[in-house]
Amino acid sequence: MTSTTDRLPPEWAPQSAVMLTWPRRDGDFGPFFGRVESNFLALATAIGRFEDLHVNVAKDAPGVQRQLLNAGVPASRLRVFEVPNDDVWARDHGPLTVQRGAGCVHLDFRFNGWGGKFPSARDDALTRRLAAVGAWSAPVEHVDFVLEGGALEVDGNGSLMTTQRCLLAPTRNPALTRQDIESTLCEHFGVVQILWLEHGNLAGDDTDGHIDTLARFCDPHTIAYQGCDDRNEAHYAELAVMAEELGNFRDRQGEAYQLVPLPLPAPIHAADGRRLPAGYANFLIINRAVLVPAYGDPADGIARARLAPHFPGREIIGVDCRGLIEQYGSLHCVTMQIPQPSIPG
């Protein structure tokens, strides 16, 4: 595999901002809007301590802006844009920003609602609409390839990690072979090898196994992953095989990655009884901090303690995600980091 001069920075690279798309009262979160908005305010306040916050709002941008300022987000770090949207999952409808030369380019991949499961036309157009209202200082380039940001992880050293269940799903890019997909990833993200996970899944996940729910790079040599120690737990067998696969991965220098297992919280269920995909791999790395999902579970603190040694110099902060998980996503799923120098300071 060969790469181009474009490079997707790893999440720990310096960031200009984090993007959120605010929940709507008339959206899927309507029945528990108060809880999810509280989660968003806590998340926004935590981000605002460390870097700029870019918020997309379907309507009443001034009202949301007042809420954020009242919650403690510094006015100097807040930008709010009123644009149509379908849902909150910024990780998947936001741009994937690559470094090109001395600047950055926002790559606008196609978004089809995780293989046609949900309405997506407004989210698919969101990055281009933001460009039209002046949200982006860097250029936007459309890529005719279905891809969500939650589907990939890079180690900053030429390797990209993803899952077969997601990227090879026939509902995304059915005309392309695995080799075609690998070539596309290498071309756009400056990587030279693709690490494919064949196993790993959380019950209730409707993304076809996004990597950001399962395994994450902490640095070029370390992978934190969703583990499971209870042999009676429904996830045990699948996550155990996934851990073996991760142990067989090698970086570009032929070295094994250090593996950090994260605990599995106690099961959380929706009102209809369906299990929700709660886990701790869905953390977000930002400037000088790591934000980790919290579910009111004793495992919350264990997860933060296991991550802390692998992020020296970064504060490890728990953020309540019990409202978010009601719609089958968590903290990383609703955020998209914008690396420097995309947005001028």
Residues belonging to the active site = 333
In 3D space, the residue among 150, 131, 137, 157 whose CA is nearest the CA of residue 202 turns out to be: 150
Classify burial at 129, counting beta carbons within 10 Å of its beta carbon; exposed 0-12, middle 13-18, buried 19 or more. Answer: middle
> In angstroms, what CA-CA distances link 187 with 1, 98, 172, 204?
9, 11, 18, 33
Beta strands 103-110 and 140-146 are parallel
What whole-number distance in Å separates Cα of residue 156 and Cα of residue 63? 39
Q: Other CB atoms closer than 10 Å to residue 151's CB: what's the count? A: 26
Contact at 8 Å (CB) between 84 and 329? no
Under DSSP, the state recorded for 314 is S
Count the residues in the chain: 345
Under DSSP, the state recorded for 125 is T
Q: What DSSP string describes 130-162?
A: HHHTT--SS-EEEEEEE--GGG-EE-SSSEEEE
Q: Other CB atoms closer than 10 Å to residue 255's CB: what's the count? A: 11
Single-letter amino acid, residue 167: L
Task: Please report the sign of the dihedral spanned by the C-alpha atoms of residue 304, residue 307, residue 310, residue 316.
Answer: negative
What whole-number distance in Å separates Cα of residue 42 and Cα of residue 38? 6
H helix runs in the chain, sequence order: 33-48, 61-71, 90-93, 113-116, 121-124, 126-132, 164-167, 178-189, 236-248, 299-307
Angle at CA of residue 259, ends 256 and 265, nearest 5°: 160
